[in-house]
Structure 1
Amino acid sequence: MGVPNADGYWGFCNKKNIKNYRTRCSVLISKGNNNILIDTSPDLRFQLLRNKIRNISSVLYTHKHADQTHGINDLRVFFLKNKKKINVYADKITLSYLKNNFSYYFKDGIEYPAILNGKKLKNNFSLGSKKELIKFKSVKVRHGKINSIGYIFCNTAYFSDCNELSNSNLNKLKNLKYFIIDCLRFNPHPSHFSLSEILDVLKEIKPTNTILTNLHSDLDYNILLQKLPINVKPAFDGLKIQL
């Protein structure tokens, strides 16, 4: 939901700390001019402006929920700018949801041209060309009663919405440089990892660095930081890491 909530509720977060001001989670992976966006959050326009992002090359989706998809309209400006459709990649269920609910972005209409190419996600794929190419592995994980997709790239994994990792998935996540992982709150949740649950996962896969994302208003930045191992940090809006 972001922090504060739409009704102004900050929960346990200190509103004087800018790192507690959180938009809905998303990430941009950049290599040269190759800018790959994961999820189009409802806050996308603000995120793009605040971080001075002037181009989007392609988009990957984790799942079909509104907080991952409903900023899709903000991709239109990049189509108008580049006169080129943007490729968006998603699993079968998410792609069907996008095409059904935002059909005018995928099909030419009388007044507006299509701006997106919907592509079914593969297990292993690459985006970009030559020196800007980035290799990805997509991983299906549980997010409550639905599936979500995590992405592994550049010795980094991004798993923004999940509450369970199978043994097979855990094996794929060993020896990472960065693990960016869902951590909604202190207490257990039916579709997101809690802090204690994710700390147990980290003991098994032992990434060099971990960044906790999708933080709810229960988790004040400084209070959470004090409870974490030295190589685990809370995410904050605008955070940049060198892969």
Structure 2
Amino acid sequence: MKITLLGTGTSQGIPVIACDCNVCLSKNQKDKRLRTSAMIEVNNEIFIIDTGPDFRQQMLTNNVKNISGVLYTHHHKDHVAGMDDIRAFNYKWRKDINIYCNNITVKALYNEFPYVFEKEKYPGVPKVNINLFTNKEFYVNDIKIVPIKAMHYKLTVFGFRINNFVYLTDVSEISDKEKQKLYNADLVVLDALRKEKHISHFSLDEALSLLDEVKPKQAVLTHVSHYMGLHDEVNKELPDNIKLGFDNQVFNL
């Protein structure tokens, strides 16, 4: 299984428009972050987690020629705004693209992209198949996908576990029951917005506390804001098996 972090930044990305902080002005490529997303290549299938505003750029940068489907964590703009660009794969392969989401997210997609779901569609719009999931494991061909329910302030969001890989972003709270799904992982990609506490995201300390509890072999932190600090400086403060992720980082599990 191959994991690619397509983006590791928060909703504004880094650099932030009009910001002159040392992170936004950094020349280090690892301090430049597109909106959070990931690609999972497993058993000849390619899944994208979230299609944010940078989806097109992320597909081009990583030379992605085909995808099997999109897994949505939730419906916030920085995670769904690029869905229209799915149509490039429709044109290339003459197939609909499977979307996997919960009932809250699909309602938001209907409102955000009404032209995709109209009975009489305008030519050239994205063609998608909606597959709803709840907090129960489901299969795509022979691949088991385990949703992980968490809270993003008052909004229910979902992470995912595939084999020994866990992806959980935009989380401020997770129950003990759901934490069980994080144990015995080879790699956990986890939300950590900044060092200071935040109402709807894990802080660095909160992320480290959860990781200390579930003890993955390796963890990387994502959805990072410019308030976290410089990539290399923050990583010096972290345990050897826990580091800030960076855009286009690849893991082979």
- TM-score interval w.r.t. the shorter chain? over 0.9
Q: Which amino acid aligns with 1:148?
A: V
1:106 pairs with one of 117, 124, 128:
117
The equivalent of 2:128 in structure 1 is 116
Summarize deviations over 1:17-49 as a string: whole Å, max 9, x none.
Answer: 100000001001012541111100100111111
How many residues matched? 239
Task: Give the secondary structure class of the aligned counterpart of 2:118.
Answer: coil
Letter in 2 for 1:126: Y
Answer yes or no: is the 8 Å Cα contact 2:55–2:82 preserved in 1: yes
Query: In the alignment, is residue 43 of structure 1 matched against residue 65 of structure 2?
Result: no
TM-align CA RMSD: 1.6
Q: 1:13 to 1:50 in 2, by over 3 A?
A: same
State the partner residue of 1:196.
Answer: 205
Distance apart, 1:6 and its partner CA:
2.6
**1:156 pairs with 2:165:** yes
Using structure 2 for the length normalisation, give the TM-score. Answer: 0.90
TM-score normalised by the chain length of structure 1: 0.93
Please, which runs of 5 or more residues in structure 1 have no aligned partner?
none
**1:143 alignment partner, one of 125, 147, 152:** 152
Select the structure with the greater relative contact order (CA < 8 A; seq sep ≥ 6): 2
Assess if the C-alpha contact under 8 Å between 1:141 and 1:162 holds in 2.
yes
Identity among equivalent positions (%) equals 36
Q: Runs ≥4 in structure 1, deviation > 6 angstroms?
A: none
Within the candidate set 1, 4, 7, 2:15 is matched to 4
Identify the match of residue 206 of structure 1 among 210, 215, 227.
215
Whether the 8 Å CA contact 2:43–2:143 is kept in 1: the answer is no
Matches within 5 A, 1:73-112: 73-112=84-123
Q: Which residue of 2 aligns with 1:232?
A: 242
Does the aligned pair in 1 maintain the 2:153–2:172 contact within 8 Å? yes
What are the Cα deviations for residues 99-151 of structure 1, in whole angstroms up to 9, with x where unaligned?
12212223343532651111211421122x4xxx4211012100012111110
Distance 1:29 1:110, change over 3 A: closer
SS in 2 for 1:164: coil
Q: Secondary structure at the match of 2:179?
A: helix
Shift of 1:155: 0.7
Matched, 1:126 2:139: yes
